[in-house]
Every structure is written in structure tokens, then in C-alpha cells.
A and B are shown apart, each in its own frame.
Chain A
Amino acid sequence: MTTPKPKLHGNVWQEVASSAEFKELQRAKLRIVVPATLFFIIYYFALPILVGYAPSIMERKVFGYVNLAYVFALSQFFVAWAIAAIYLRAATRFDAMSKAIINKVEQR
């Protein structure tokens, strides 16, 4: 079921794209998404790189037979969940900003 779309012809898209509100939304998103992406990529690839090229460090026992390699691998899960939680929180603000932009267009 498609509801009729708001009138989006003409220069609406360009106007929104150059509006202060949209630029602020873009900046706010980038401030979260870019560092989060860089961090998780670096943190993730550190695991195969260290396990592959520095096995002697990663084989060190932390407690019992549990070694650094396993602790690091396990930490990836919690770090991924933490990043997801941080993004989820930040995104409620993006939703409000997006809604304001859409309302402004639809009220014309």
C-alpha cells in the first residue's frame, strides 16, 4: 500500500539539501558514524593481525587456560554491542531532526 507522496517536485530536494537544518543533521550523523566506524574497523582487524603475526603475545594465559587471544575475541562481542547501543541512543536525536525537516516540507 503506497500512500500518496507529498509534493516533492521542483527544487524541494535542493532546497532541503542546502538548508541549515539538513547540514546540521549531516554533521551530527558524521560526528557519530565516522568515529564509530573507524574504531570498530581498527578494533576488529587488530584481532586477526595480532593473532596472525604476534601469536606469542596472544598465547599468554590470563587465567587458567584462558589466553589473551580468547579474551580479545570475546571482547569484540561486547565492544560491538556497546557501539550499537551508543549509536542507537544518538540516533533518537537524528530522528527528531529528520522529522522536523520532513514536517517543514510537508507543511508548505
Chain B
Amino acid sequence: MIALVIFLMFVGATLGITWWASRRSRGTTAYFAANRQITAWQNGFAVAGDYMSAASFLGIAGIIAFQGYDGFMYSVGWLVAYLTVLLIVAEPLRNAGKYTMADVLAYRLSPRPVRAMASLSTLVVSTFYMIAQMVGAGALVAILLKGVSYNVAVTGVGILMVIYVVFGGMLATTWVQITKAILLMGGTILLSILVLAHFGFSFTSFFNAVGNVTYTEGGRTVVQDFMKPGLRFKPPYGALDLISLGMALIFGTAGLPHILVRFYTVPDAKTARISVVWAMGLIGAFYIMTTFLGFGAATIVGRDVIAVNGGTNMSAPLLAKQLGGEIFFGFISAIAFATILAVVAGLTISASTSFAHDFFTNVIHHGKEKKPGEEVRVARIAAFVVGAVAISIAILLGPTANVAFLVALAFAVAASANLPVIVLSLFWRRFNTSGAVAGLATGLAASLTLILVSPSIMGANRALFPLENPGIVSIPVGFLGAIVATLLTREPSAEQKFDELRVRAQTGLGAER
């Protein structure tokens, strides 16, 4: 009940934001890039709100609560990944592009094939990621709000994200993400303080409890040191899987289209850079606190209780219930739901922008709008279609579908297909259209194939590829595809235009304002 009230307040506030934003979103740059008027701290909060998904808040807390230290390894990778964004991608992208990741690739390469492939890769990454979020949201709501069915929840999430994006564009999406980031940080800080208070603010007694987590397994009581690595990533392939996961996170984050488009909403590269640092502060603080969320759930609530009350994903909400009662449970549950909404809104706008700007205007209409305002209209229709498709697939899969592999897939595709071509196009003069198309295609194909034959899909015993995370193989394959195809062909025009791209990307001369 309380969860419902808090959740409805969030929905009311976000619809208010959307109404306010819709009155300001006139024109193409306003719709796709919030007029490039977002400030550094605002974009930092929005990046954090765009990035910290239900997988972070509920998933990580759950993995740490059940498998201890190994879950914290995810937390580390999710922050360190932002150094790739900060040092290599954010500023050149802001200087050289306009609305999408493909703008940078199309700058000196043949625009139509490159944009078509980049748009395909964007749609694959965004849709898969979105379906994972929606299945999670539906299953969560069914547990949190008694009486709301899975199908209703999924449809509700889908309708809301489409409303934000269709009516409020990037400006509404940005402020929904900022609101969510503030709520998520607030809730996490409160929860962490309550966990520490439970241990009398003594780190010694907190870590003593973590070192002696008690639960039952196979009818026996087990006492386990949860600080010990290796409870999740076990031999023979655990170590390799861990490295492969790290590669997908470190190189994938800088290739996630919904994160990259955020840097077009700020006035210049300097603001983009400062906004990444803001985001790193928030994201880092949040992931450090997963220590208290996850270990707190393991020690205060316990695996046995969580297992029969909704499973791993309910660790953080159940911890809130134990420490703060029904009201706090409702608050944390509503935050979890707000988290999902903000992330799917970001995914929807990046997917629909890529379809309208890359595919419709530049591939089909050869780079010219036939009527003014056409690109925005197409994006709005695309957002609607993306929403409908995501709702349908999420309902078809059902609440019990194992969707964790979809997130792994999204990061693997971003790291194996998108990142290699972005980096090579910015820094390698010789790079050309064949290389970009081949790099995107091989990265995409390698990640998809390896996930299909991985234990996540085929089961641990029959899997043809032993790792759950394909990055360690698919990222080198993506780079190799791009490099080999480049070396087999020559494209003098692309090499000639390299100086222009380089000067623009590095200095901001001629950048979109």
C-alpha cells in the first residue's frame, strides 16, 4: 500500500516533468539533445540515473547476499568502466557528433552502410537491455504490490516510458533520470546507515558477522566466510569468466548507446568531461554501499528467509523491511521501480533517436529531411513501436524467464561491436568503411553466437562455450574484424578526412552547439 502511494507520487512527478519538458521541446536539437543546455552536475546525475539499473540495485545486492564477495566484483567493474568513458570516448564523441554514436563513425566514412550497421547494433543492445529491465520490473511489481499482475506491470512500465520519450523527449528523460538518481542515492545511504546502526556503528562487528554468515544448505546448517572469493565463480572456468566479465564491463560501458547520447545534451566537451566525473562520484559511492546492502541482507535477513520470500532480487527490499518496517519497505520498493523506469526511458530515446536519425533520415532519405520536423516525428513513432515490441516480448517471455544473459549480451555487443569501431575511427587514419561495417558485424555476430551456445542458454553441461560472458573472445574478434577488413581495402577519402575529424574531436573546432 505504502509502496503504491510512493510509487504513484513518483509517477505523478515524472508526468509533471514530462508536461513541463514538452512545452520546451520544440525543434530537433531540443527533442534529441535537450537543446544541449544540460549542466555538468545535471548530466552527471542523469548518467548515473541512466546507468544504475535494477540489475545494480536489486541484482548486485542479491548476488552479494547469496554469494558474498564475488558479487562485489561486479560493483568494481561498473565504476572503473567510466575511466574508459572519461579518458577515451566522451569528449571526442561530443565534439565530433550530433545526436548518435553513428555520427562519429559516419564523419569520414561512407555514411549509409556505416549508419545502417551502427543503428542495427544500437537497436540490438537497447532492445535486449530493455527487455531484461521490463521482465525484472514485472516480476518485482508482482511481488511488491500485491494484486498487480505481471502483465499489467510490464504494460504500465512500457506505457510510461513511451509517454516520457514521445512527449518530453530528451529533456524529460534527463529530469526523470536525475530524480531517480537522487532517490536511489538517498535510499541507499539511508539503508546503509541503518545497517551500520544495527551493528552499533562498529565496522569490526559488521565484518565479524560477514565472516560468519549462517544458512542452511541441503538440510545442514552452514557457517560461511562471505568475504571469501570464489563462492560464485568456481573452477574450472570461474576465473576466466570473471576476467571476461571485467572486459565486457570495462570496454562495453563506453559503447552503450544510451550512455553515449547523454554527452550530446551538454554544451561542450569540457562540460561532458566534468559530468563524467560527477557520475563517477555518484556511481562509485553507490557501488561501495552495495557492501552494506548485500552483506547487510546476508547477515541481518539471511539467505534462508530471502529464498522463501521472493528470492535473490528481493534482498535489498527485505533488508529495508527488517530494518525500517513497512514504510521503509514501500519506499525502497518504489525506488527500485523508479530505477527501472528511468533506465528504460533512456534506452527508448537512444533506440528511437538512432532509428530516426541514422536509419530513416540518413540511410533511407540520404541525409535530408523531406519535411521540417520529420526526423522528430519518426523518432516519436519509433519510440512507440519500440515500447510496443518491448512490452510484447516481455509478456511472451513471462516473469520466470532467465534474463540475466540479456544484460551480459548487451554489454558484450557494446564492447565487441561498438567500442572497437568508435576507437579505431577516432584514432586510426587508415580505418575505413569496410573496417567499420565488418567490425560491427563480426562483433555483433560473435557476441550473439557465443551467448547462444553459453551455459546461460544451453545449460551448464551441454554448453559448447564454457563461459557466461563472451567478452574475452568476442572483443578481440570485433577488433580483428575491423582491422583485417580495413587492411584488405583502401579508401583515400576516409584517410583524407581524418585530419578534419581529429582536429574537431580534439579541439572542438566546429562542434555542434
Cβ distance A61 to chain B, nearest Cβ, rounded Å: 8
Cβ distance B419 to chain A, nearest Cβ, rounded Å: 13
Interface hits, B472-512 → A, CB 8 Å: 499-500, 502-504, 506-510, 512
Q: Which residues of B contact A29 (CB under 8 A)?
A: 506
Cβ distance B504 to chain A, nearest Cβ, rounded Å: 8
Inter-chain CA distance A14–B280, complex, in Å, is: 36
| Count of chain A residues with a beta carbon within 8 Å of a chain B beta carbon | 54
When the two chains form their complex, are residues A65 and B225 in contact, meaning their CB atoms are under 8 A apart? yes
When the two chains form their complex, are residues B87 and A52 in contact, meaning their CB atoms are under 8 A apart? no
Who on chain A is nearest to B98 by CB?
A2
**Contact digits for B75-88, partner A, Cβ 8 Å, 1 yes 0 no:** 11101101110111
When the two chains form their complex, are residues B506 and A98 in contact, meaning their CB atoms are under 8 A apart? yes
When the two chains form their complex, are residues B509 and A8 in contact, meaning their CB atoms are under 8 A apart? yes
Inter-chain CA distance A80–B79, complex, in Å, is: 8
User: Does residue B292 face the partner (Cβ distance < 8 Å to A)?
Assistant: no
User: Does residue B242 face the partner (Cβ distance < 8 Å to A)?
Assistant: yes
When the two chains form their complex, are residues A87 and B29 in contact, meaning their CB atoms are under 8 A apart? no
Q: Which residues of B contact A58 (CB under 8 A)?
A: 229
Selected interface stretch from B15-23, B232-240, B350-358:
B232-240
Q: Which residues of A contact B274 (CB under 8 A)?
A: 88
Inter-chain CA distance A77–B82, complex, in Å, is: 11
User: Does residue B207 face the partner (Cβ distance < 8 Å to A)?
Assistant: yes
Q: Which residues of A contact B207 (CB under 8 A)?
A: 64-66
Inter-chain CA distance A96–B246, complex, in Å, is: 35
Q: Which residues of A contact B502 (CB under 8 A)?
A: 17
Sort A-B residue pairs by CB-CB distance and give the 4 closest, nearest first. Answer: A52-B239, A65-B211, A17-B499, A13-B500
Q: Chain B residues in contact with chain A, CB under 8 A?
A: 27, 29, 35, 69, 72-73, 75-77, 79-80, 82-84, 86-88, 204, 207-208, 210-212, 225, 227-230, 233, 238-240, 242-243, 245-246, 250, 270, 273-274, 276-277, 280-281, 284, 287-288, 499-500, 502-504, 506-510, 512-513
Taking A48-B243, A70-B227, A80-B79 as known contacts, 8 extra A-B pairs with beta carbons closer than 8 A to each other, sorted by chain A number, are: A1-B27, A25-B506, A59-B228, A65-B207, A73-B73, A76-B79, A83-B87, A91-B273
20 A-B pairs with C-beta separation under 8 A: A29-B506, A36-B83, A36-B87, A37-B87, A44-B77, A51-B230, A64-B207, A65-B212, A66-B207, A69-B69, A70-B227, A76-B79, A77-B79, A77-B288, A80-B80, A81-B281, A84-B276, A84-B277, A87-B86, A101-B509
